[in-house]
Amino acid sequence: MRFSNVVVFAAMVVLVSVAGCAARRSGVKVSSAESGLIGPRWQLVELNGKPVPATVNGKMPYLEFSEEGNRYGSTGGCNGVGGEYELSENNGIKFGKGMSTMMYCDDMSIENGLKQLFEQVDSYRIAEGSLTLSKGKGAALAKFVALKDQSAGMAGTWELDYVMEPGVSFESLYADRKPTINFDTSTKKVNGNSSCNNFSGTFSLDGNDIHFGPLMSTKMGCPGNGEQVFFKNLEKVNHVDVQEDVLTMIMGDIVVMRWKRK
């Protein structure tokens, strides 16, 4: 073999080797723990350039990631959708086709939009507590905000303006007096009024997960079912979200109580 041919052959070997390495690098999987996706529950706030309400069919639309099994879970306000996801270099992400429950709800638009989103998305970006999902270098397909430790925003007194009780209006339950609740985040103590009796107790907070300790209340007789509905729903709460002057209490992904700051 002539020297010139040897040089050409060697150069081709090098090019093929580099191309092969590049191809292998592009398929490198990225640790979920290092991605920034794990930890918070991500509330959906924008989909296809349009704002998403805080609740759809009484549920908060969200997306969350688990490092175990590289699984994701979500809801668009009706059914729960979950499956596997895969990360790659340069903030690449791919959602596997997920399993879903089969309920029908009045508003399916956000849920259907999320399903289409998971089929299209191939990249993500996290900045200042926000998660953006996109396709290629195009415009954002969806935006989410992280629900983190809510303690700083919870402190103070709140007045109830929504409670989950199908078939009964809020106004009829609390025609004379609306329930109030006050959080002392430094001592993790809570007190308030159920619309009739005063109550007090403790609470624990981990991120946006909240649990109330035993609550004690006075024993005055109360007309109507307002107090019973209040305590029944308060016992269900396991998540909380504070956005400026609105505090939302959630059971799983269902909004059960909403409060306004007094």
d(CA 128, CA 231): 36
Q: What is the pLDDT of residues 132-143, one digit of tens each?
A: 999 988 889 999
Task: Find the angle CA(206)-CA(255)-CA(101) to the nearest 5 degrees.
Answer: 100
pLDDT band per the 50, 70, 90 thresholds, residue 85: very high
Q: Topology of 32-147 in CATH?
A: Lipocalin (2.40.128)
* pLDDT score of 145 more than 50: yes
Please tell me the CATH code under which domain 151-261 is placed: 2.40.128.270
Phi and psi torsions of 202, nearest 5°: -125, 165
d(CA 87, CA 112): 23
Residue 147 · residue 41 · CB < 8 Å? yes
Same fold, 32-147 and 151-261: yes
Q: Where is 100: in which H helix or E strand? A: strand 99-100
pLDDT band per the 50, 70, 90 thresholds, residue 6: very low
Residue 45 · residue 52 · CB < 8 Å? yes
Q: Is residue 38 helix, strand or coil?
A: coil
**Domain coordinates in residue numbering, the chain:** 32-147, 151-261
pLDDT band per the 50, 70, 90 thresholds, residue 2: very low
pLDDT band per the 50, 70, 90 thresholds, residue 26: very low
Here the tokens at position 129 are 């507590």
